[in-house]
Copies of this chain bind each other. A is one copy, B any other.
Amino acid sequence: MNESDVTVVRIYLHEAKAHMEELLEYLHDESKVHGVTVFRGISGFGSSGKYHSSTLIDMSLDLPVVIEFFDEQEKIKSIVEYLNTKIKPGHIVYWSAKINDRMEPVE
């Protein structure tokens, strides 16, 4: 089976974070990584213990959000280094994985 090495990245934020737009713009316009997906959690809390959750009635709360993407290891390395200057420590998690077949380079 054809497979390649990738790094998967998950960035843990909240919807209310002002820089989420900026981050997505960077990922879309500059980094051009693969598989960018934004997931909204229904509840969450970090080390502060402060809850972020939703009900059907109140869908506009400050919910936890995870931005996920993946790409070649070297490319991700430099992207994480850049993001590290924008996002405070402890919010970017990444690990090695395999991907089916060979990815086409993004022009």
Question: A: which residues have CB within 8 A of B?
Answer: 1-2, 6, 8, 10, 12, 24, 28, 32, 34-47, 49, 51, 53, 56, 59, 64-66, 70, 77, 80-81, 83-84, 87-104, 106
Contact = CB atoms under 8 A, between A and B. Distances in A.
B47 A104 contact: yes
Contacts of A90: 34-35, 99-104
A80 B106 CA distance: 24
Given A12-B35, A44-B36, A97 B100 contact: no
A89 B83 contact: no
Given A34-B47, A40-B42, A84 B100 contact: yes
A90 B91 CA distance: 26
Given A35-B46, A45-B28, A47-B34, A98 B93 contact: yes
Given A80-B100, A90-B101, 19 more contacts: A34-B46, A36-B44, A37-B41, A37-B43, A38-B42, A39-B41, A47-B106, A70-B93, A88-B101, A89-B104, A90-B99, A90-B100, A90-B102, A90-B104, A92-B99, A93-B97, A93-B98, A95-B95, A95-B97
